[in-house]
Structures are given as structure tokens and as C-alpha cells.
């Protein structure tokens, strides 16, 4: 039947949107997840993290650069003699409040926050790519089922027309057959549009700049149920170790570290140096210099007030991230169990029952004991059940992959 379906598509027997470009080569699920790792946002985030780590390692413990002093001049003595005179020296300011170490600690804390953000982004990109692939697979598979149904519907429509010519079917039977054929054609057209939209969405999720929509491979991946699927307490207890909550905590630590840095940068400091000079008479002299700066008034109150507000906001975001992680894990646990139950009900009960009912209605219809409307209702019920089974199969795989990703991405 699939071969006939493809043949009819090629010969133009089935409805097709001429404005839609041909899809790209089929992409498997594992391939899609691997391609997503090269998404521009993720690559840029990794490059930024690498560069920041390199520069963070170079942050010095001295927070001030040395200052060189030079004062060239000339002196004219009272006796009329003229001689060159000059001063040279070097000054270095040292923080007594620990500005250097606090600055290094702030830089490391910011780097850690960036690292956690990168891990959270990586997980988000992976899940988005997986969800987009499954959505496209569902649309493509539903289109294949609808296309096969359209082929059968056209055969049945022709049979009814021939029967009506010989008096075996009524005008109502012909109208019902024509209406169901039109309904099947519209279903195929609708699914063709959905496949196109889902294909474009998959390109976006993978970070591809493609001139045609993506296509999913026909095979649905076999994803084992995670061992943690029946250990709710453990999964929820590990929520604080997920990249989202860890990123929130890291941002709080970074804000606090910046607050300490701001305070110490305005703390007490000591300037030490040496100064030497030559007087116009030829005398030479040298002295050591000390200058103490005491933070009696300016202690970075302005900057620290903004930092305190930022810290409070970061704490709120961290708390929200933990709640969001727990909610997502709880939802994922439920989805694994619920999707499996739905799939079982469809695969073992609804689809076989509707198929058996259709077979019985077809026999009665051929014997003249059932109407065309009865047959249409039975065919529509089976088609609906098959479409729900397709969605259920994808839902099971997606739920398992999602939970596995949430658990395996725990940052230790």
C-alpha cells in the first residue's frame, strides 16, 4: 500500500501543495540531537565561556598599576650658575582591605555562573531539538496514515459510483462516499501543511539555516525507560543539583562576590614608593614615600546599594529556578507513566476494537445490511484511533528521553 501511495503522489493523484519545497534528507533522532550541539547559540556560549576562563586565570592580585614619576627641570643659583635638576620615582598602591583576592574571587564566581548558564542552555537546546523531531515524526507518520486512507477512500468511492449506476447504491450513499473522500483529501492537505511547519521548526531547533524544511527518519528511536522513573523521591531530591538551580545559586554567589569586591576596592590602601632627585648644585638625594588612604566617607555605598538589590533579585530567581526544576521533574515523572498507560490502552484495546468493528461493518455493508454512513463512521473511528496511537508512541519516547535528560544532566 505504501508503494501505491508513493506512486500516486508522484503521478499527482493525491493532493499536494505546489508551493512547498521538497524536504531535505531524513534526519534520525540521534543525528538531530548531535546536530543541535552545534547550534549557533550553544557554540557562541561555549566560546564565550572558554575565553572568559582564559582571562579569569590572568586576573592579578594587585588591583593598581605602578605609577612612574619624572620631573625634569633646571635650577639657576644666586651666583648665576645654572644646573640641571630632576626628580624620578615609582609609586605602588596596595589594598589593605583585600581588594585583590576579592576581585579574583568575584571573577571566578562569575565564571562559574556562566558555566552553569551554559549547561542550562545545553539542556534546553537538546530538549527543544528532541521535541521538535518527535513533533515532525508524528506529523509525517500521520500524513502517511491519512494518505493510505485516502487511497482506500477513492477506491471505495469508485465502487459506490459503479454500484449506484447499477442500482445497488442510493444517491445518499454516493453523497456520503463523495463527502468522505473530500474529507480525506482535506486531511491530507492539512497534514502536508503541518509537516512543512514542523520541518521548518526542526531546522530552527537545530540551528540550521536551511532553504527547505527538515525531514525526520521513519524509525522511531527505542528509548528505554529510565531506572529513576519509579523513584520519585530521589529524582525530586536531586532537583537542586540541576543546571537551572545551580545557575541560580551561582548567580547569587557572583553578586555577593561583586559586593565584597566593591567594598574592598574602596577600603583602606597604602601607597609605597621611592623618590630620588638631583639638585642643580649636583647634590643627590633619595627618600621612601608612604601614603595611607582611610575610607572615612566613601565606601562604595552607591555601588553597593545597586549590588544589594541585584543580589536580592538573584536570590528570588534562584528560588524560582529550584521550584521550576522540581515541577519539571515531577511533570516528567508523571508523563512517563501516563504516556505508557495511554499507549497501552490504544495499542491493546482501542485500535484492535475499532479495526474489528470496521471489518464487521464492511461485511454488513457488502451484504447490504449497513449504510454508507455506518461505514464512514467506522472508518473515521479507526483513522482517529490510529492517529492517536501514532501520537502515543511518540509521547512515550519523548517522555522517557526528557526524564533521562533531566536526570543525567545533574551537575556534580
Domains of the chain: total: 1
**Cell numbers 454516493: residue:** 174
pLDDT tens digits, 121-149: 999 999 999 999 999 999 999 999 999 98
User: d(Cα 159, Cα 173) in Å, to the nearest integer?
Assistant: 11
388: CB partners within 8 A, 6+ apart: 346, 350
Neighbours of 204 (CB within 10 A): 15
DSSP codes joined into one string, 259-327: HHHHHHHTS-EEEEEEEEEE-TTS-EEEEEEEEEE--SS-SSHHHHHHHHHHHHHHHHHHHHHHHHHHH
* CA neighbor of 41 nearest in space, from 221, 246, 206: 206
- Tell whether 27 is covered by a domain: no
Q: Crossing angle for the helix pair 171-206 and 29-36, nearest 10 degrees?
A: 40
Q: What local confidence, expressed as pLDDT, does residue 6 receive?
A: 32
Residue 210, CA distances (Å) to 27, 44, 396 in order: 13, 20, 29
- Tell whether 9 is covered by a domain: no
C-alpha grid cell, residue 35: 546536530
Cα-based angle 279, 281, 286 (whole degrees, multiple of 5): 35
- Tell whether 40 is covered by a domain: no
Q: Which residues pair with 87 in a beta bridge?
A: 71, 277
User: d(Cα 192, Cα 186) in Å, to the nearest integer?
Assistant: 10
Residue 319, CA distances (Å) to 106, 244, 264, 324, 358 in order: 22, 10, 28, 9, 55
* CA neighbor of 32 nearest in space, from 141, 126, 138: 126
pLDDT tens digits, 179-220: 888 999 999 999 999 999 999 999 999 998 878 899 999 999
Would you say 248 and 322 are in contact if contact means Cβ atoms under 8 Å apart? yes
Domain that holds residue 317: 46-408
- Tell whether 8 is covered by a domain: no
Would you say 238 and 169 are in contact if contact means Cβ atoms under 8 Å apart? no
User: d(Cα 396, Cα 143) in Å, to the nearest integer?
Assistant: 20
* Overall pTM > 0.95: no
* CA neighbor of 20 nearest in space, from 184, 200, 186, 182: 200
Which regions in the chain score pLDDT beneath 70?
Answer: 1-20, 166-168, 409-412
Q: What local confidence, expressed as pLDDT, does residue 16 receive?
A: 52
SS3 252: helix
324: CB partners within 8 A, 6+ apart: 244
- Tell whether 38 is covered by a domain: no
Q: What local confidence, expressed as pLDDT, does residue 302 receive?
A: 92
Q: What local confidence, expressed as pLDDT, does residue 176 receive?
A: 85
CATH number at residue 285: 1.20.1600.10
Q: What local confidence, expressed as pLDDT, does residue 351 receive?
A: 96
C-alpha grid cell, residue 139: 506529523
- Tell whether 18 is covered by a domain: no
- Tell whether 37 is covered by a domain: no
Q: What local confidence, expressed as pLDDT, does residue 313 receive?
A: 97
Q: What local confidence, expressed as pLDDT, does residue 144 receive?
A: 93
- Tell whether 21 is covered by a domain: no
Would you say 113 and 247 are in contact if contact means Cβ atoms under 8 Å apart? yes
SS3 109: helix
Amino acid at each position: 500500500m505504501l508503494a501505491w501511495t508513493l506512486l500516486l503522489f508522484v503521478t499527482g493523484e493525491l493532493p499536494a501543495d505546489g508551493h512547498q519545497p521538497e524536504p531535505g534528507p531524513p534526519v534520525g533522532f540521534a543525528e538531530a540531537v548531535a546536530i543541535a550541539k552545534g547550534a549557533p547559540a550553544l557554540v557562541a556560549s561555549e566560546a564565550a565561556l572558554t575565553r572568559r576562563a582564559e582571562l579569569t586565570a590572568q586576573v592579578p592580585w594587585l588591583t593598581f598599576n605602578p605609577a612612574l614619576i619624572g620631573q625634569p627641570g633646571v635650577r639657576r643659583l644666586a651666583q648665576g650658575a645654572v644646573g640641571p635638576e630632576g626628580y624620578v620615582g615609582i609609586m605602588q598602591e596596595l589594598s589593605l582591605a583585600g581588594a585583590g583576592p576579592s576581585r579574583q574571587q568575584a571573577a571566578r564566581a562569575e565564571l562559574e555562573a556562566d558555566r552553569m548558564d551554559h549547561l542550562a542552555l545545553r539542556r534546553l537546546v537538546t530538549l527543544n531539538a528532541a521535541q521538535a523531531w518527535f513533533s515532525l515524526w508524528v506529523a509525517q507518520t500521520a500524513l502517511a496514515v491519512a494518505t493510505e486512507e485516502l487511497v482506500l477512500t477513492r477506491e471505495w468511492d469508485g465502487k459506490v459510483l459503479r454500484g449506484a449506476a447499477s442500482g445497488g447504491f442510493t444517491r445518499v450513499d454516493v453523497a456520503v462516499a463523495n463527502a468522505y473522500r473530500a474529507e480525506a483529501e482535506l486531511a491530507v492537505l492539512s497534514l502536508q501543511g503541518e509537516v512543512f511547519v514542523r520541518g521548518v521548526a526542526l531546522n530552527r531547533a537545530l540551528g540550521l539555516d536551511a532553504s527547505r524544511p527538515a525531514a525526520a527518519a521513519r524509525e522511531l528511536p527505542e528509548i528505554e525507560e529510565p531506572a529513576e522513573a519509579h523513584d520519585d523521591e530521589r529524582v525530586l531530591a536531586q532537583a537542586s543539583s540541576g543546571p537551572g538551580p545551580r545557575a541560580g545559586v551561582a548567580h547569587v554567589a557572583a553578586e555577593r562576590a561583586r559586593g565584597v569586591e566593591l567594598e574592598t576596592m574602596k577600603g583602606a590602601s597604602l601607597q609605597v614608593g621611592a623618590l630620588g632627585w638631583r639638585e642643580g648644585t649636583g647634590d643627590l638625594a633619595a627618600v621612601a614615600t608612604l601614603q595611607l588612604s582611610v575610607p572615612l566617607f566613601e565606601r562604595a555605598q552607591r555601588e553597593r546599594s545597586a549590588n544589594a538589590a541585584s543580589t536580592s533579585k538573584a536570590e528570588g530567581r534562584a528560588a524560582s529556578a529550584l521550584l521550576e526544576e522540581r515541577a519539571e521533574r515531577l511533570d516528567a515523572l508523571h508523563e512517563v507513566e501516563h504516556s505508557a498507560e495511554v499507549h497501552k490502552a490504544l495499542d491493546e484495546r482501542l485500535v484492535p476494537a475499532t479495526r474489528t468493528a470496521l471489518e464487521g461493518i464492511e461485511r454488513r455493508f457488502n451484504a447490504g445490511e449497513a449504510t454508507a454512513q455506518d461505514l464512514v463512521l467506522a472508518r473515521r473511528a479507526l483513522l482517529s484511533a490510529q492517529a492517536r496511537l501514532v501520537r502515543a508512541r511518540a509521547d512515550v519516547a519523548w517522555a522517557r528521553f526528557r526524564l533521562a535528560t533531566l536526570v543525567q544532566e545533574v551537575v556534580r
